[in-house]
Amino acid sequence: MKSFILITLISIGAKCSYAQFAPPAGQPSSTAIFKDSSIITSWASGCTVVRGYQDISNTSLGFASVGDSSMAIGMAGGSSGVVSLGDGGYGILTFDEPIENGLGWDFAVFENSFSDDFLELAFVEVSSDGINFFRFPATSLTQDIVQVGGFGNIDATKINNLAGKYRAQYGTPFDLDELANQAGLNVNAITHVKVIDVVGCIQDSFATFDQLGNKINDPWNTPFASSGFDLDAVGVIEQSTVSVETHIFSKNVQVFPNPAHTFVTIQFFENTLIQEINLINALGQISTISSEEKQNSQLSLDLSGYQPGMYYLNIQTTQGNITQRLLIQND
């Protein structure tokens, strides 16, 4: 018995020692996107929900029932509430215009967690035809030896590419570039986003798995009407509304180094008239770095006065506007 306990503790400790992903909202290097951020250009306009059971191990309790599909439409954090998906339930969201693969994050999924460590998770898939869906490669480094209880906590730094990583009003962002080589998917014309509740049970009969084959351990069981992932909203960052000329222009700009420390360089592959450059943090707060028109092929910017974290560099020129994700780190 002592040997079994020791092996179990070693197994838990091995996974708990990992903390390699972005931290909770508001902390340096967090990727959380605030619902009022100016980088969000629109919100889902349609939603269909298929409910899961309140408790997949006791189906006699029936299905989750809080909210309805209309509550996942529009802006996050609104007065309409959320829709609870239940164990393994899912919602499919649609948009007025397709989502495209831009520079950096392309959309964000919002849940309604009341804290930074009570996290109910969901897989995210996308489709460009509404039929064939492709899943973002998710990772969970949470230990899978001891079940996280229904009101238990997990560490956001051990979670990647799973919706629900951040507390209410802060979205988990996704980058379509990770799926760019999938046959049958047009990452520049995403019409559907599917959010699928992770059944956080570690029992073999009900477990769900990440891309590495790890069981995903999150708060379970939650035998209530509000069971499972509480879908609040999906915010769009990159949407197919810009001209072909702007697409071509964005390919002719390089930002480096990224991550950056005290400076960053913008390289244009042709001489460009720059009108304004802004740096936007995850809360949507805008800092203007340059508002003077400049004719340049290369420009270096001083970042020494900015706190470490995830930002968006917005470059406005006479040829078009582009926004690129920029991570600022300590020296």
207 in helix, strand or coil?
Answer: coil
Q: What is the pLDDT of residue 250?
A: 59
Listed as own residue / partner, the contacts of 14-18 with beta carbons closer than 8 Å and 24 or more positions apart are 15/141, 15/142, 15/143, 15/144, 15/158, 16/143, 18/141, 18/158
Mean pLDDT check: name the lowest of 92-106, 198-212, 290-304.
290-304
Query: Tens digits of per-residue pLDDT, 262-294?
Result: 999 988 777 778 888 988 887 778 889 888 777
Q: What is the pLDDT of residue 180?
A: 94
Distance CA 72, CA 268 (A): 40
Tokens of 111: 């849940």
Mean pLDDT check: name the lowest of 7-21, 158-172, 225-239, 298-312.
7-21
Could you state, in order of their start, the residue ranges of all structural domains in the chain? 18-236, 244-328
Q: Which helix (H) or strand (E) holds 273?
A: strand 263-281
| Eight-class DSSP state of 26 | T
Q: Which residues have C-beta within 8 Å of that of residue 10, sequence separation ≥ 6?
A: none
Q: What average pLDDT is seen over the chain?
A: 88
Tokens of 168: 């209410």
* pLDDT over 80 (residue 17): no
Per the listing, tokens 């071509």 go with 248
Q: Which residues have C-beta within 8 Å of that of residue 183, sequence separation ≥ 6?
A: none
Distance CA 84, CA 90 (A): 9
Q: Which helix (H) or strand (E) holds 250?
A: helix 244-250
Query: Tens digits of per-residue pLDDT, 154-177?
Result: 999 999 999 999 999 999 999 999
The CATH class of 244-328 is: mainly beta
* pLDDT over 50 (residue 3): no
* pLDDT band, residue 19 (cuts 50/70/90): low
Q: Residue 165 in contact with residue 172, Cβ under 8 Å?
A: yes
Query: Tens digits of per-residue pLDDT, 99-129?
Result: 999 888 999 999 999 999 999 999 999 999 9
Query: Tens digits of per-residue pLDDT, 35-77?
Result: 999 899 999 999 999 999 999 999 999 999 999 999 999 999 9
312 in helix, strand or coil?
Answer: strand
Q: Which of 283, 309, 323 is nearest to 34 (CA)?
A: 283
